[in-house]
Every structure is written in C-alpha cells, then in structure tokens.
A and B are shown apart, each in its own frame.
Chain A
Amino acid sequence: MSQKVLLTSKEVNIILHRLACQLIENHLDFSNSVLIGIQPRGVSLAQRLKTILETDYKIKNIPLGFLDITFFRDDFRRGEKQLEANKTQIDFLVEDKKVVFIDDVLFTGRSIRAALTAIQSFGRPSEIELLVLIDRRFSRHLPIQPDYRGRQVDVINDENVKVCWKEKDGEDAVYLM
C-alpha cells in the first residue's frame, strides 16, 4: 500500500512542544487540571506530553489517566469486527476538574462523543477540552472540534491516517495510507 509522510519525527517533536506550551497557557501549573488519554491510541500521546511538561517545563504531579470507551460506543453490534476493550485507569475523581481529552486522530468525532459519556462515571468535570495531534477536516459526523490541534489535514474518506510512536512502533511519524 502506498503511503505518504505527513509528519516526520522532527515535526512531531516540534508540534508536541507547541501543544505542551499551549496547555501551560491555559492550565498553568495543572493544580486543577487532569490529562486523560483515550484508549488505545491516545495513550502514547498523553504520556509523551506529560513527560515534556515534567522534564522541559518542570511541572510536577500532573494527574494522568487512561479512558477506555469501548462500552460507550454507539456502533456496538453494527460493525463487522467485535469491539476490543482496553484498560481504563483513572485513579482520581474528575469532579470539578478541568479535563483535557487527548487522542491521536480526530475523525468522525464519535469516539469523543463516547468519551464525553464515559467520563461522567468518574464525576462531573468543570470543563472538558480536546487535544488531538491530527485533525481530519471535513469528516465530522458530530459537532465536535478540538481546542488544541497538532496539524489539520484534508483526507478523503477511504484514506487512513496512521500515527506511529517510537515506544510502540519504532519511530515518531504520521503517515497517510
């Protein structure tokens, strides 16, 4: 299958630092904010951002959780494949906190819709923001837009955006396939 490089390792790194700075702009020391990586692909991005915030910007004790949305999706029994669950790990309450959802690609918006429902099981956040590395423009099924975006791309429907991470896939890169 042919693939085109959307972002190289260097570009990913620059974007991650920019996103981290934008987060600091809105959340300062994160004393009332939590980061939530959406399972499965938002986890690496969330961990990476947390590491940058801690090592480069000396912000300690940022709460980080992972949210699995499988049981909250609206396509149960509709797809060909059975949905595979992942681990949810949120060791804190999100009551009255500012929550930042973190995912790799924003496509139809349905995952985020499910995440908005799922997070209610952990309390009532004071506000929820969305951070994505890749925003696929013109493909939304729902009125959901990111607050922080790495790169906006125009992709036709049968093309796929693949985000690779060094710790999982051996390199940092984003491909269009």
Chain B
Amino acid sequence: MSELSVNHLLGIKYLNKKDIDLIFETADHFKEVINRPIKKVPSLRDITIANIFFENSTRTKLSFELAQKRLSADVISFSTAQSSVKKGETLIDTVNNILSMKVDMVVMRHANPGAAYFLSQNVKASIINAGDGAHEHPTQALLDSYSIRERLGKVGGKKVVIVGDILHSRVALSNIYALQMQGAEVKVCGPKTLIPKYIESLGVTVEPNLRKALEWCDVANMLRVQNERMDVNYFPSTREYAQQYGVDKQLLDSLGKEIVIMHPGPINRGVEITSDVADSKQSVILDQVENGVAIRMAVIYLLASKIQ
C-alpha cells in the first residue's frame, strides 16, 4: 500500500496530492471507528506521543489527545505555563529531555514560524506541527478540506474564499496550499491591512468586497480576528470590522444560493459571524471539530507506521 512521502507533518507545502488523498481515505475509516459504540482501536499501543504546547490551545490540543487515545497510544501533555521553559531551557533541550523518556512522536505548537521544521532537523522523533506562529497549521487545513469534501463531494473545482485576518493566520496559509493542491480556486477577502502584500504570488486573488466574494464562492472560511497577535490597530474598531467583514443571516440569505460556512474556532460571535449563522444549517463548524479527530487519527497512524 502507498504510504506518506514524509516522515513528519510540518506543513501542507511538504505534502503532495497523493498524501492528502491517503490521509482522507484513512480518515474515512477512522470516522467510522469513532462512531462505533466502542470508539477505540489498539493500533498504537506501543507508541508514546508527547503533546508540547508553547501557545494556548483548547480545541487542537483536545482533538490531538483524543485522537491519540482512540488509537491507544500513550500520551503525555505539557504546556509551557507549568514547565521549565520559563526557567530558560532551550527548545531542543526541552524536547530532548522528553525524548530521553522514550517518546516516539512529538506534536508541537509554537509561536515561532519554522519551530517544527527546526525540531525535525535536530531531534530523533516524528514531528507533527500543531501550528507554528503565522506559518502553517496543517491538520486544520486537512480537516477543512475533508469537511468540504464531505459536504460537497469533492474539493477539486470548488471556489473557496478565506475571509478575515489573513496576515496573522497560519490556517489561511495551510488552507491555500491544501486547496490549491486539490484543484480548488481560492480568493482571500479582508481589510487591506490584514492582507499580506505579496499574497497574489501564491496564486490567489484578493477581493476586498465581502458580498462579491460570497456571491462568487461555494465555501466561505471565516477566520478569527487574532487580537492577541496584533501589536498595532489594523482596523478602526471591532464594530466596523463586523459591519464590513462579518457575515449575518440577512447577508447569507440575500445571496440567492447556499454556500458552506466554515470557521476554525474559537468564534468571536457577532464579529466574524453572527450566532444565527454559526448555528445555521449551512455551517459545518461542528462537523469540522468531529472531522478533526478523524483526520488527526489518520495523520498519527500513517506517521507512526513509518517509525522504525
């Protein structure tokens, strides 16, 4: 059988179309598993995985932990708040110390772009990037595409608009790579200050008008406004952002077609989307969360099978 072309999941840009197809096919099987009365398989019972989160996370961390437990792996989790990182230990030292306890795989989130790549070059373990700064968040992009595939049948040929804070978003970058690899067309939409200057070099187009973008698309991925990453004001006020780039039910109903609404979470209700949109039938936000576990099980399973 085919296997992944990589030993680590550092970003979508290191994968190819075949890898994504394999991950999706494997995730289909795991989705069936997690809907059984007993939702657990014993495949990874001799694998130990460390989850190292240098940045806050609820959903991703829970989703990874659950995926690991459903595969029967042993899991240790660690976040920097209670760790020796605060005492000045370097990243490699921290991770090597964890690896001395015989850990086979590391899932890491870090504020610095490239942290996961750096780690993969310097330590002996399989690395999964759970978000590195504004660079990539590959499992999120995979589960987003998987949710589109589930809702619309396929990703190829679909039109996807990514709305909001593209500048600070690792979800946007990973999504652009993943969607284009599968043959979807991508537009980005948001305030000019939050669109990176050379974004068009990635092959995406910029649409400053939200209504036009929504009229064009099949899927709208509404990103969260990342206040914690903003050192200056990128738009005058949250209220003005919500008026120009927030989606409400009225706007959605006036499009004359059904588009799929996605959001990577956590939602700022009333900013990116209103509550009635988040809870509407067109929203796949909770499907994304469920699919996240299946996708992460698939990624972990496929990478673990390459550990010698």
Q: Which residues of A contact B (CB under 8 A)?
A: 68, 70-73, 76-77, 81-88, 93, 117-118, 120-123
Contacts and interface: CB of A to CB of B under 8 A. Distances in A.
Given A121-B38, A122-B37, A123-B37, A76 B1 contact: no
B1 to A, nearest CB: 4
Contact of A71 (B38, B41, B46, B307): B41
Interface of B: 1-3, 25-26, 29, 32-33, 36-44, 46, 71, 301-302, 304-305, 307
Query: DSSP majority for the A interface?
Result: loop
Nearest to A71: B41
A118 B72 CA distance: 13
Contacts of B301: 71
A76 B43 contact: yes
Given A117-B42, A121-B38, A81 B29 contact: no
A87 B36 contact: no
Contacts of A87: 29, 32
A121 B302 CA distance: 22
Contacts of B40: 121
A109 B154 CA distance: 40
Contacts of A120: 38
Contacts of A76: 43-44, 304-305
Contact of B305 (A68, A82, A88, A122): A82
Nearest to A74: B42
Contacts of A73: 43
Contact of A83 (B32, B71, B305): B305
A82 B43 CA distance: 12
Contacts of B38: 120-122
Most buried by A among B2, B38, B39: B38
A48 B26 CA distance: 28
A-B pairs with the 4 shortest C-beta distances?
A71-B41, A84-B1, A121-B38, A85-B29
Given A81-B1, A83-B1, A71 B36 contact: no
Given A71-B42, A71-B43, A123-B37, 20 more contacts: A68-B29, A71-B71, A71-B301, A77-B304, A77-B305, A81-B1, A82-B3, A83-B305, A84-B1, A85-B25, A85-B26, A86-B29, A87-B32, A88-B33, A93-B37, A120-B38, A121-B36, A121-B37, A121-B40, A122-B37
